[in-house]
Homo-oligomer: A and B are copies of this chain.
Amino acid sequence: MEASHARSWPSNGRRRVVISRILPEIDDSRFPVKRALGETLRVRAHVFSDGHDRIEVRLRYRQQADPEWRELPMRELGNDEWQAEFRLEKLGFYDCQVIAWIDHFVTWLEGFHKKAGAGEEIEVELRIGADLLDAAALRAPEPDAKRLGEWAALLRNPSLPIGERGLVARNPALTELARSFPDRRLESMSPFARRILVDPPRALFSSWYELFPRSWAAEPGRHGTFADCLRLLPEIAALGFDVLYLPPIHPIGSHFRKGKNNSVVSGPDDVGSPWAIGAKEGGHKAIHPALGGWEEFHRLQAQAKEFGLEIALDIALQCSPDHPYVREHPGWFRWRPDGSVQYAENPPKKYQDIIPFDFECVEWRSLWEELRSIFLFWIDRGIRIFRVDNPHTKPMAFWEWLIADLKAAHPEIVLLSEAFTRPKILYHLAKCGFSQGYTYFTWRTTPAELREYLTELTSPPVREFFRPSFWPNTPDILPAYLQEGDRSTFLQRLILAATLSSNYGIYGPAFELCIREALVPGKEEYLDSEKYQLRHWDWHAPGHIKAEIARINHIRKTHRALQETNNLRFCDIDNPQLLAYAKASSDHGDVILAVVNMDAHPQSGWVRFPAEEFGIDSRKPFQVNDLLTDTSYIWHDGSNYVRLDPAVWPAHLFWVTQYAPD
């Protein structure tokens, strides 16, 4: 940092190759790039040297557990840009680095060809080549060393005609052998390794279903249990979900317990908010007795797995005033001058049933360790997916430390960040390692807004670290758009969430029953929210959209194009009420084109599908098969007509294939 730095000598000034920029990268290489298992990492670098010498560029990489680095040649794309890619075959952290050196043998060889071709005198050139071969021989094992030495002798041999010696120098076998033992003493290396975090496939492709177990008792008025949830599993699986997400399942505090509809007073029968964690029965490592015991929990877990459902737990790092931590670790909390513990507030709003940790406390290390132990506790009990509540109210440094630590030992876990907060903080949490994040999708309700937002999400650098999870509703958010909509609006939001993003979820059964009643119309709180009371749902109430959900999840499962997000490409369409976008699997084997009517009325337009970009021969007709209605059309290059009546389906979900008439 000091001025003297400017004058310091490089460690070895003989290194001439410059490696100046490596992509992808995030914030000056401060954070890892994120990929999922089985994805390919494509690395680009700017590499060049002074002068006219030829350079050799390699990518080296290593999974954290590998003892050795692997090396790949990088190929030149032109304009001094080099590229290589490799498949990520293990979970966890990888490091990669670019190395490059001047290849004097290749430089010599090319010069030799040019000079010989121009009829120049090549005697001295042959002797230079022979010296380079001798040097290569010193780096080579036998029998290669011997062969190189023999070749060198031939190049130098004055009793051979010069033309014959020239032919030796042009021998491709010689060239290949000599190139295998390059002089790498002056190789340059990129200043720091680029780190990659490889998450499990579920981080990239997942369909979440959120429910409150306590509302699913068979008979009204009783507190539902894990056992009650068992009977839901076949149906949730039939809907096509693969993650069953439960709000906090821990004992709920009684002091300042919230009543129905977020009332600050509660009666003896009120069940409280599951996010007011901790009571005399325990805290974050205990189960609410009313939900059942460990046996019931493990049975739910095991049975869910049989239905292809993984259970996700909600981790909310906060306490009720009754949490054992408050008594046992007063140093982790902030205390007011009247001796009371500081509750959560955002003046003038107060959340007296919630006590935040004081992350500025002197005992921060023991606090961090205890919070980590919560995750480890549930990982030990088979939980692999966590939805983390309000991570933006805890320090970023804590998350970065925690997730790196957890991922080092348990790279198979998935963490969903519930950070409905400002954009930079939302993104920073993803940089710190969260596998997925909630988004602003919920409030993007026009084609133009979605196009702009999704373009940001799927462009660098965001695409390199942030995996969106699209939720049309949550227990906290019944958006105005749904309140004002109808069944078709729910379908529209479902299709958008499930096809724009490969990760999505719904809070059920409020979503599939198209529940639209807000506590205060226009505000986002549900009326009679399950957050504060038991509900009893009629899951078969008329007007539900379960069949449509099942169909869409089935399409997601059978179409690889919908199993990633960054392959999104918007298509032009001449009606601003319509949104058109396409996705293809990386091999172009599966191509989907979606057209969504975001208006309440029938709309039509001409959509322009760039067939060639998706490997489809645009000179021939191609077939589009609407997977929602099972109807097919033959399209031709250029613009094609669509019309969407929300009363039927608010969208087309076309599977595009080259038309092959019999």
Chain A residues with CB under 8 Å of chain B are 1-3, 6-10, 13-16, 18, 20-21, 25, 27-30, 46, 48-52, 64-65, 79-80, 92-93, 95, 102, 110-111, 114-115, 117-118, 120, 124, 127-128, 131, 186, 191-193, 195, 336-338, 340, 345-348, 359-362, 364-365, 368, 392-398, 401, 404-405, 407-408, 422-425, 428
Contact = CB atoms under 8 A, between A and B. Distances in A.
B50 A364 contact: no
Contact of A347 (B20, B102, B111): B111
A65 to B, nearest CB: 8
B52 A346 contact: yes
11 contacts: A1-B193, A6-B405, A8-B401, A13-B364, A14-B362, A20-B424, A28-B28, A50-B396, A111-B347, A114-B347, A117-B348
B10 A348 contact: no
Contacts of A393: 50-52
A80 B422 CA distance: 8
Nearest to A423: B79
B1 A192 contact: yes
A50 B10 contact: no
A525 B600 CA distance: 70
Nearest to A92: B3
Copies in the assembly, this chain: 2
B124 A336 contact: yes
A397 B93 contact: no
A120 B368 CA distance: 34
Nearest to A422: B80
A562 to B, nearest CB: 32
A111 B345 contact: yes
Given A46-B424, A365-B9, A424-B48, A131 B186 contact: no
A343 to B, nearest CB: 12
A7 B347 contact: no
- Interface centre among A102, A362, A397, by most chain B C-beta atoms within 10 angstroms, is A397
A345 B193 CA distance: 36
Contacts of A117: 348
B337 A128 contact: yes
A582 B118 CA distance: 52
A425 B80 contact: yes
A428 B46 CA distance: 11
Given A93-B3, A401-B13, A18 B396 contact: yes
**Residue from the set A8, A20, A393 with the largest chain B CB neighbour count within 10 Å:** A20
A7 B408 CA distance: 8
Contacts of A124: 336-338, 340
B397 A13 contact: yes
A6 B404 contact: yes
Closest 4 pairs (CB-CB, A-B)? A3-B64, A6-B404, A127-B337, A111-B347
Contact of A13 (B25, B46, B398): B398
Given A348-B114, A405-B7, A16 B359 contact: yes
Nearest to A342: B128
Contacts of A348: 114-115, 117-118, 120
A368 B405 CA distance: 46
A10 B127 contact: no
A661 to B, nearest CB: 45
A569 to B, nearest CB: 25
A195 to B, nearest CB: 8
B115 A14 contact: no
Contacts of A192: 1
Contacts of A336: 124, 127-128
A360 B101 CA distance: 12
A365 B347 CA distance: 64
A365 B13 contact: yes
A28 B359 CA distance: 30
A359 B20 contact: no
